[in-house]
Amino acid sequence: MGYGVMKTIINCETGEVIERELTAAEIKQQAADEKEYAKAQKVEADKIAAKQSAEAKLAALGLTEEEVASILG
Amino acid sequence: MPTNTDLVTDLPADFAVFGQAVDTSMADLLGGTTGQILAKASGTNMDFTWIANDQGDITAVTTTAPLQGGGTSGALALTVAAASTSASGVVQLSNSTSTTSSVLAATPTAVKSAYDLATTANTAAGTAQTTADAAITKATLTTAGDTLYRNATVPTRLAIGTAGQVLTVNSGATAPQWSTPSAGGLTLISTVVPSASSGFSFSSISSSYKHLLLTWSGILHSNNSTAFDVRLNANSGANYNSMVYYGANTSLAQANAGGATSYNPTVPVFGKNVANAGFNNTNSGYLWLYDYTNTSYAKQCSGAWVFYDSSGAAHTQIWNSQMTFDILTAISSIDITRLSGTGTMTITTNGSVKLWGMA
């Protein structure tokens, strides 16, 4: 039973190169990776959005770009 | 002497004449000795002579094996016994060149067939001998890992070196030799040129180096919704702790990952959304994995990479990272694995992924 996704294994000791389909465990891991990746991207996007919101609020208080940058980095 | 029509007038006289005629005719029968036999003396009638009974020189036929029969009288029958491997005798001829009989004898036909085959075999043997004479003696190599090279005249054994040694040419440039690489040297362990790859792995990495260096250039994804990251020893546990500073256009940001399941799922090492080669900004970079065989400490890694993120507000991103891998086991494999999407990874012109060993 194949899963259609191939993985290349390079044996550094012998130089042998094997291309094989992902195992069931690797397919399962890939699904978990997909969720982990999406979660990490959302955290990063939220962080960027929060920074942009803070920048906008600080600017609204009358701070210059340099002043905002000195606070937020 | 009167005839049968004559008138007998003087019988005594006639008998006398008759007797004399008989005596004269049978005179040769007179004489002889015991054992003599009568033989014709000439072609004339009644011309006999007595001779000794010694005509012919066979008086008995005595046989020895393989001749059988014989005797001293009568019709003598003689036969020859069949030959065997233990006795001489008569044998049957055979044209066969395949029989296993031990009592048949080969004919010239069979001998010629055998001769012809022997001639062919002899020719082949001569050719084989010539080939063998020119071949390399198996015994030249005596130890596992030995290699073979030619000196000035003949194939010669080069004994296996020691762990970590590399093959070089001697100072006279006349022969190869094993040499210990000088400190700080790089040894190329393996090169991969991904083509529509969903991921790949460097496995069975030798433990003979001090550090590992992974370099890559020209990575291009087939779409802008795929991400590839790095794992060590195929470990997908929450063992990766990284701190990544990156610049996106004019901004500077930081992406930390504590207890991640790969190098950094926020900013994957082999890029995310790297599908634009138009600016020659495919993913390129390096990772330096320190003291990868140490089994007393967590592994440490640093690296940098750059790529063009073609998603959303497309911009060039430059990354500098430090990472610890909370595993004491020596590193024996490095996986470039797809974290997200269904795209594949390909290398643009002159690109490759290389794994190096550092002495």
Interface test with A, best of B339, B342, B345, B346 (most A CBs within 10 A): B339
d(CA A64, CA A68): 6
Per the CB < 8 Å rule, is B257 touching A40? yes
Per the CB < 8 Å rule, is B198 touching A22? yes
Per the CB < 8 Å rule, is B200 touching A8? yes
d(CA B107, CA B254): 101
Whether A58 maps to a domain, the answer reads: yes
Question: Residue A41: enclosing H or E segment and its boundaries?
Answer: helix A24-60
Whether A1 maps to a domain, the answer reads: no
What pLDDT, in 10s, does the model give residues B162-215?
988 899 999 889 999 999 877 668 889 999 998 888 899 999 999 999 999 999
With left for phi above 0 and alpha for psi between -120 and 50, is residue B125 left, alpha or beta? alpha
Instruction: State how many domains chain A has.
Output: 1
The answer to whether B197 faces chain A, any CB pair under 8 Å, is: yes
What is the model's pLDDT at position B109? Answer: 96
- Residue ranges of alpha helices (H) inside chain B are 11-25, 108-134
Structure tokens at A51: 């920074």
Q: Which residues of chain A lie closer than 8 angstroms to B202, CB-CB?
A: 10, 12
Whether A16 maps to a domain, the answer reads: yes
Q: Which residues of chain A lie closer than 8 angstroms to B200, CB-CB?
A: 7-10
Question: Residue B354: enclosing H or E segment and its boundaries?
Answer: strand B345-358
Residues 6+ apart with CB under 8 A from B143: B159, B160
State pTM to two decimals: 0.57
- Does pLDDT of A12 surpass 60? yes
Structure tokens at B251: 């901004």
Which is it for strands B211-221 and B283-290: parallel, antiparallel or unpaired? antiparallel
Residue B325: CB atoms within 10 A of its CB come to: 23
Structure tokens at B22: 């008989």
d(CA B209, CA B199): 25
Give me the domain span that covers residue A63.
6-72
**Minimum mean pLDDT among B14-18, B56-60, B195-199: which range?**
B56-60
What pLDDT, in 10s, does the model give residues B295-350?
999 999 999 988 877 665 556 778 888 899 999 999 999 999 999 998 898 888 78
Q: Which residues of chain B lie closer than 8 angstroms to A38, CB-CB?
A: 340
**Which of the four pLDDT bands, split at 50, 70 and 90, describes residue B91?**
very high
- Give whole-number Cα distances, A57 to A13, A54, A71, B53, in Å: 58, 5, 12, 165
Whether A68 maps to a domain, the answer reads: yes
Closest partner residue to B201 (CB to CB) among A9, A36, A73 is A9
Whether A23 maps to a domain, the answer reads: yes
DSSP state of B127: H
Q: Which residues of chain A lie closer than 8 angstroms to B252, CB-CB?
A: 73
Q: What is the ipTM of this complex?
A: 0.82
Q: How many angstroms away from the CA of A67 is the closest CA of chain B?
A: 15
